[in-house]
């Protein structure tokens, strides 16, 4: 039997980093075992579900490179099936109609809370006689409740958590169909998972308490019970569960912040899973090595600094071609006119090795894409473009101007700068290199100035130097 698993988000907002991790683990588990990874959109909450959220989820998964093997299933399309299952349970005596009012249920819960016992339905309507029911049915709205066994226990071997056993007396008679005739979550999930032939369910630990109820439903409907793996939750810096209203941001925010999906996936897979001391995993390596049974049981705190380090790593080892679309995206966001592809390709190597995000690449490399680097970064200009260095800088520019165009190579340029440093009896290379850097880039941090001069070419480099000398003369 082929292994089939699914990722089942509810489209009530963007795909956040916790959801992405669940999706990744499902994906890896399926791929690793040669199984199928399906996607189901749990859009049965008409109030909160919306198309924008569905699009955001697709976009998020797509960006991460996690493509489901089958077209997505919309839970809302299966309502008739869900209701048929409820009818079946009613017919087999595994469910019953309940006429309790919300007021009664609220009062009951309040009472139980005060008595410090677990709030649960008291089975009031289970004890109704046929004539009671007939009388009520005439004008009272009703829900369908599952008749949960009152004794015994339900147990499953969780692939991550190990054996979990829950006493049936801890459970209550959950509502399967609301008074408006719509199915509830637990019913819909069970029916859909069965219909989709899902046999491995990987989901967050917050679903553990649903599992015994769902197992009961599978059994009552005469269906095979799937295997379960409940993943520890992702927590924010404060130690509380990460959620949309609590610290979590959309995975697409990471794209906007200049992260690469390979870095995000790599970061996420190491949250709860490891393979010895290995830190770097390509997606295919993850597929090969991932074993859901090795996932740890303790919750983990999301901490961005390692993600940043990983992103720097992936940036450094990416081919320039790989980074072209990323750069174009960020340049556009930064409001910088789109450069020629060849120019971009030429310039990327000098940026990728020293930056941690694509956003930073654009910031650092801004001088490559603009006509003028003035006004200069204020502190950098104040520190390096001093009256004291003006003679040396002027001398350097003159000599560079006289340099034959064929000698406009990194090694030759460096040699010439060193000569001027010596001739002018400067304290060190930095005395001259830093002012030159500001002239070329407008800032005092940048890629190698010789690399820059070669890339910009003789004309543009000299033009920037000349306008710098003019600027310095004006302010002194």
Task: Please identify every residue annotated as catalytic.
Answer: 244
The reply to whether 141 sits near RNA by the rule CB under 7 A is yes
DSSP for 256-291, please give it.
HTT--HHHHHHHHHTSS--BTTB----HHHHHHH--
The answer to whether 298 touches 232, Cβ cutoff 8 Å, is: yes
One residue of 3, 33, 45, 90 binding RNA per CB under 7 A: 45
Which C-beta is closer to RNA: that of 82 or that of 94?
A: 82
Site string for RNA, 210-249 (x = CB under 7 A): x---------------------xx-x---xxx--------
The answer to whether 81 touches 88, Cβ cutoff 8 Å, is: no
Non-local CB neighbours of 216 within 8 Å, separated by 6+ positions: 146, 148, 149, 154, 171
Site for RNA in 343-382 (CB under 7 A): 353-355
The window from 14-22, 61-69, 178-186, 397-405 that contacts RNA (CB under 7 A) reads 178-186
User: Quick one: which of 203, 89, 229, 215 has its CA closest to 153?
Assistant: 215
One residue of 276, 335, 404, 405 binding RNA per CB under 7 A: 276
Site string for RNA, 148-167 (x = CB under 7 A): -------------xx-x-xx
Which C-beta is closer to RNA: that of 118 or that of 341?
A: 118
Shortest separation between residue 164's beta carbon and RNA, angstroms = 5
The window from 19-27, 57-65, 247-255, 446-454 that contacts RNA (CB under 7 A) reads 446-454
Site for RNA in 59-118 (CB under 7 A): 75, 100-102, 105, 109, 113, 116-118
Angle at which helices 79-91 and 185-195 cross, to 10°: 100
One residue of 52, 55, 69, 119 binding RNA per CB under 7 A: 119
* Beta strand pairing call for 300-301 and 234-235: parallel
Map residue 370 onto helix, strand or coil: coil
Shortest separation between residue 135's beta carbon and RNA, angstroms = 17
Site for RNA in 182-211 (CB under 7 A): 182, 184-186, 188, 205-210
* CA distance readout (Å), 369 to 121, 153, 342, 343, 442: 67, 68, 12, 9, 13
Site for RNA in 404-433 (CB under 7 A): 414, 428-430, 433
Which C-beta is closer to RNA: that of 59 or that of 100?
A: 100
The answer to whether 385 touches 376, Cβ cutoff 8 Å, is: yes
Site string for RNA, 13-32 (x = CB under 7 A): --------------------
Which C-beta is closer to RNA: that of 84 or that of 332?
A: 84
User: Quick one: which of 233, 337, 179 has its CA closest to 22?
Assistant: 233
State the distance between the two ends of the chain, measured CA to CA, in whole angstroms: 82
The DSSP H or E segment spanning 374 is none
Which C-beta is closer to RNA: that of 330 or that of 434?
A: 434
Angle at which helices 410-423 and 429-441 cross, to 10°: 130
Which C-beta is closer to RNA: that of 299 or that of 403?
A: 299
Total site size for RNA, rule CB under 7 A? 88
Site for RNA in 279-338 (CB under 7 A): 279, 294, 296-301, 303, 305-306, 308-309, 312-313, 316
Which C-beta is closer to RNA: that of 274 or that of 399?
A: 274
Shortest separation between residue 224's beta carbon and RNA, angstroms = 22
The answer to whether 173 touches 148, Cβ cutoff 8 Å, is: yes
The window from 61-69, 250-258, 439-447, 455-463 that contacts RNA (CB under 7 A) reads 439-447
Shortest separation between residue 348's beta carbon and RNA, angstroms = 14
ω before 79 within 30° of 0 (cis)?
no
Map residue 242 onto helix, strand or coil: coil
One residue of 16, 94, 270, 464 binding RNA per CB under 7 A: 270
Distance separating alpha carbons of residues 3 and 23, to the nearest angstrom:
16
């Amino acid at each position: 039997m082929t292994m089939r698993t699914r990722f089942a988000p509810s489209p009530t907002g963007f795909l956040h980093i916790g959801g992405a991790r669940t999706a990744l683990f499902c994906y890896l588990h399926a791929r690793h075992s040669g199984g199928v990874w399906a996607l189901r959109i749990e859009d049965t909450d008409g109030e909160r579900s919306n198309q924008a959220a569905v699009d955001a989820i697709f976009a998020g998964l797509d960006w991460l490179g996690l493509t489901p093997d089958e077209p997505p299933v919309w839970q809302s399309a299966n309502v008739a099936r869900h209701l048929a299952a409820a009818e079946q349970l009613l017919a087999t005596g595994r469910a019953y109609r309940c006429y309790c009012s919300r007021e009664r249920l609220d009062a009951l819960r309040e009472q139980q809370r005060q008595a410090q016992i677990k709030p649960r339905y008291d089975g009031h309507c289970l004890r109704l006689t046929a004539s009671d029911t007939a009388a009520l049915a005439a004008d009272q709205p009703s829900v369908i409740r599952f008749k949960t066994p009152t004794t015994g226990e339900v147990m499953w071997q969780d692939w991550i958590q190990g054996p979990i056993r829950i006493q049936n007396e801890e459970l209550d008679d959950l509502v399967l169909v609301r008074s408006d005739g719509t199915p509830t979550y637990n019913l819909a999930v069970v029916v859909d998972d069965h219909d989709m032939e899902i046999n491995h369910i990987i989901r967050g630990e917050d679903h553990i308490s649903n599992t015994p109820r769902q197992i009961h439903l599978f059994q009552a409907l005469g269906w095979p019970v799937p295997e379960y793996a409940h993943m520890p939750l992702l927590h924010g810096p404060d130690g509380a569960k990460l959620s949309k209203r609590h610290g979590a941001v959309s995975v697409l925010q990471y794209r906007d912040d200049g992260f690469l999906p390979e870095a995000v996936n790599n970061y996420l897979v190491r949250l709860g899973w490891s393979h010895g001391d290995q830190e770097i995993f390509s997606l295919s390596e993850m597929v090969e090595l991932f074993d859901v049974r090795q996932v740890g049981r303790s919750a983990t705190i999301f901490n961005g600094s390692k993600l940043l380090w990983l992103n720097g790593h992936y940036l450094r080892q990416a081919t320039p071609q790989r980074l072209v679309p990323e750069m174009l995206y960020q340049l556009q966001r930064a409001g910088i006119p789109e450069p020629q592809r060849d120019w971009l390709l030429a310039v990327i190597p000098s940026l990728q090795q020293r930056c941690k995000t694509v956003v930073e690449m654009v910031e650092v490399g801004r001088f490559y894409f603009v006509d003028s680097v003035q006004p200069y970064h204020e502190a950098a200009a104040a520190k390096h473009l001093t009256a004291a260095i003006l003679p040396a800088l002027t001398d350097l520019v003159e000599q560079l101007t006289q340099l034959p165009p064929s000698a406009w190579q990194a090694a030759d340029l460096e040699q010439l700068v060193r000569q001027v440093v010596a001739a002018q009896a400067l304290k060190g290379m930095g005395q001259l290199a830093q002012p030159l850097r500001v002239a070329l880039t407008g800032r005092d941090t940048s890629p190698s100035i010789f690399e820059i001069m070669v890339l910009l070419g003789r004309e543009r480099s000299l033009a920037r130097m000349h306008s710098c000398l003019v600027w310095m003369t004006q302010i002194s």
